[in-house]
Amino acid sequence: MVKPIIAPSLLAGDFANLGCDCHRMFKSRADWVHLDVMDGHFVPNITMGPPVISSLRKAVPRDESKPGKFFFDCHMMVANPEQWVPEIAKAGGDQYTFHYEATEDPLALVKLIKENGMKAACAVKPGTPVDVLYPLAEYLDMALVMTVEPGFGGQSFMADMMPKVEDLRKKYPKLNIQVDGGLGAATIPVAAKAGANVIVAGTSVFKAADPEQMIEFLRSHVTTELKSKGLLDE
């Protein structure tokens, strides 16, 4: 059983006011915030790194009375993901998502992530077949199917990635399955129907007249589809 999880991407926020944006998303009933870490090598863009995440964690400290609240979902679009595991853990990351394409030993990396006290997730780019995740799935807390090419926000959703989500959901009904890229009012129905339960949404939430309303709209679609499949954790 899985829950609907909405994770607004701070990549679509105001980088001069990320702490405020982070609070705004949680006040708008986001479940997580999604932090895109790019190094200019694995993807042709540079965004944030451990110092920024550390500052955000100071601005949005964990609530020890409510485990899992103020969850930082760190999407590591970096060429050497092993290098940054201790730093992201120290900075306050809760989940470390590495790219399958960036490592030669994904199982060892999963072990390293968990040894550093974080949840472990693995992402695949649009051109990578989903079956590379099958040997890893039992060790993962989440799988991420990219629905755009990683590196920049504001791209169009790739609906032809949905068979990957469907295949993962059929094989691993209790796994958190995330989709990232181009998610909004027009694309959430197909993503939810395919079986995605963790939705990364950037522009659609941050540019919405009412971010809370958009977050609830996304969540309602995921909830309905999970319930129809008998997979909703209530």
pLDDT per residue over 2-38, tens digit each?
999 999 999 999 999 999 999 999 999 999 999 999 9
Residue of 21, 36, 39, 94 marked active site: 36
Cβ atoms of 162 and 197 within 8 Å: the answer is no
19 marked ligand binding residue: no
Mean pLDDT of 50-69: 93
Residue of 31, 73, 94, 180 marked active site: 180
H helices of 143-210, where? 162-171, 188-194, 203-206
36 marked ligand binding residue: yes
110, 6, 20, 98: which is closest to 56 by C-alpha? 20
Q: What is the pLDDT of residue 54?
A: 98
Q: Judge whether residue 77 has pLDDT over 90.
A: yes
pLDDT-based confidence at 234, cuts 50/70/90? confident
pLDDT-based confidence at 86, cuts 50/70/90? very high
> Any idea which residue has 């949005």 for tokens?
60
Q: What is the pLDDT of residue 65?
A: 82
Q: What is the pLDDT of residue 67?
A: 83
230 marked ligand binding residue: no
Q: What is the pLDDT of residue 151?
A: 82
Is 31 annotated as catalytic?
Answer: no
d(CA 62, CA 59): 10
pLDDT-based confidence at 66, cuts 50/70/90? confident
pLDDT-based confidence at 154, cuts 50/70/90? confident
202 marked ligand binding residue: yes
By mean pLDDT, which of 58-67, 74-83, 106-115, 186-195 is the weakest?
58-67
151 marked ligand binding residue: yes
Strand pairing category for 142-146 and 176-180: parallel
d(CA 66, CA 125): 33
Mean pLDDT of 154-158: 88
Mean pLDDT of 28-55: 96
> Any idea which residue has 């020890």 for tokens?
64
Q: What is the pLDDT of residue 48?
A: 96
pTM for the predicted model, two decimal places = 0.96
Q: What is the pLDDT of residue 173?
A: 97
Q: What is the pLDDT of residue 153?
A: 73
203 marked ligand binding residue: yes
34 marked ligand binding residue: yes
Is 94 annotated as catalytic?
Answer: no
Share of the chain above pLDDT 70, in %: 100
Outline where DSSP puts E strands in 15-118. 32-38, 71-77, 95-99
